[in-house]
Structure 1
Amino acid sequence: MSSPTRPGRWLLIAAWLSFVAEVVIIGTGGAVRLTGSGLGCSEWPLCTPESLVPTEELGIHGFIEFGNRTLTGVVGVLALAVLVLTFLHVRSRRGLRLTIWFAAGGIVAGVAAAVIAGAFAAPAFVVFSSVVLVAVIAAAIVTVRTVSERRDLVVLAWIVVAGVVAQALVGGITVLTGLNPFIVGFHYVSSVVLVAVTAAYLVRAYDGPGPRERAVPVWFAVLTHLTTAALAVTLAFGVLTTANGPHSGDANVIRTGFDASVLAHVHSVPGYVLGGLLVLLVGAGAVLRLPTLRWSIALLAVVVAQIVVGVYQAREGLPPIAVGIHMVLAALAAAAMTVVVLRLKRPVAPVAGVDEGDRVEASASSN
Structure 2
Amino acid sequence: MVRLASAFLVSRPARWFGSSLRGLALASLIANIGIIVTGAAVRLTKSGLGCPTWPRCTDESYVSTPEMGINGAIEFGNRLLTFVLVAIAVACFIGALVRRRRSLTRLSVAIALGIPGQGVIGGITVLTNLNPWVVGLHFILSIALIAGAFALWRRVGEGDGDPVPLVPAPLRQLARVTAAAGLAVIAAGVVVTGSGPHSGDQGAKRNGLDPAQISQVHADLVFLLIGLTVALWFALRAVGAPAAAVRAVAVLFWVEMGQGLIGFVQYFTHLPVALVAAHMLGSGLVWTSTLAVLWSLRSRPESPAPAPPAPTPAAVGEPVPAA
TM over 0.5: yes
Could you report, residue by residue, the CA deviation over 1:282-328 in whole angstroms, capped at 9, with x for unpaired residues? 22333413342222122112111110000000110011111111111
Q: Distance in 1 between matches of 2:128 and 2:300?
A: 47
- What is the aligned partner in structure 1 of residue 183 from structure 2? 232
Judge conservation of contact 1:15–1:202 (CA < 8 Å) in 2.
yes
Q: Distance in 2 between matches of 1:202 and 1:293?
A: 21
Shift of 1:169: 0.9
Matches within 5 A, 1:303-322: 303-322=256-275
- What is the aligned partner in structure 1 of residue 87 from structure 2? 77
Q: Establish whether residue 36 from structure 1 lines up as the match of residue 36 from structure 2.
A: no
Instruction: Specify whether residues 8 and 35 from structure 1 end up closer, same or farther in structure 2 by C-alpha distance, changes over 3 A only.
Output: same
Q: Distance in 1 between matches of 2:61 and 2:266?
A: 38
Shift of 1:354: 8.4
| 3-state SS, counterpart of residue 145 of structure 2 | helix
Q: Distance in 2 between matches of 1:311 and 1:199?
A: 28
Matches within 5 A, 1:201-216: 201-216=152-167
Comparing 282-291 with 316-325, greater Cα deviation is found at 282-291
- What is the aligned partner in structure 2 of residue 107 from structure 1? none
| Structure 1, unpaired ranges of 5+ | 1-6, 91-149, 357-367
Q: Establish whether residue 242 from structure 1 lines up as the match of residue 193 from structure 2.
A: yes
Shift of 1:224: 0.4
| 3-state SS, counterpart of residue 299 of structure 2 | strand
| Structure 2, unpaired ranges of 5+ | 1-16, 309-323
Judge conservation of contact 1:203–1:339 (CA < 8 Å) in 2.
no
1:333 pairs with one of 281, 286, 291: 286
Matches within 5 A, 1:73-112: 73-90=83-100
Q: Establish whether residue 258 from structure 1 lines up as the match of residue 209 from structure 2.
A: yes
Instruction: Specify whether residues 8 and 154 from structure 1 end up closer, same or farther in structure 2 by C-alpha distance, changes over 3 A only.
Output: closer
Q: What is the percentage of aligned positions where both structures have the same residue?
A: 38
| 3-state SS, counterpart of residue 335 of structure 1 | helix
Q: Distance in 1 between matches of 2:119 and 2:139?
A: 12
Shift of 1:70: 0.6
Count of aligned pairs between the two proteins:
290
Could you report, residue by residue, the CA deviation over 1:186-224 in whole angstroms, capped at 9, with x for unpaired residues? 001111111121011111111233222111111101110
Shift of 1:355: 4.8
Q: Distance in 2 between matches of 1:204 and 1:19?
A: 13
Question: Over the residues paired in the alignment, what is the CA RMSD in angstroms?
Answer: 1.9
- What is the aligned partner in structure 2 of residue 169 from structure 1? 120
| 3-state SS, counterpart of residue 292 of structure 1 | helix
Q: Establish whether residue 220 from structure 1 lines up as the match of residue 138 from structure 2.
A: no
Q: Establish whether residue 198 from structure 1 lines up as the match of residue 208 from structure 2.
A: no
Shift of 1:349: 7.2
Judge conservation of contact 1:160–1:194 (CA < 8 Å) in 2.
yes
TM-score by length of 2: 0.85
The structure number with the bigger radius of gyration is 2
| Residue type of the alignment partner of 1:182 | W
| Residue type of the alignment partner of 1:300 | F
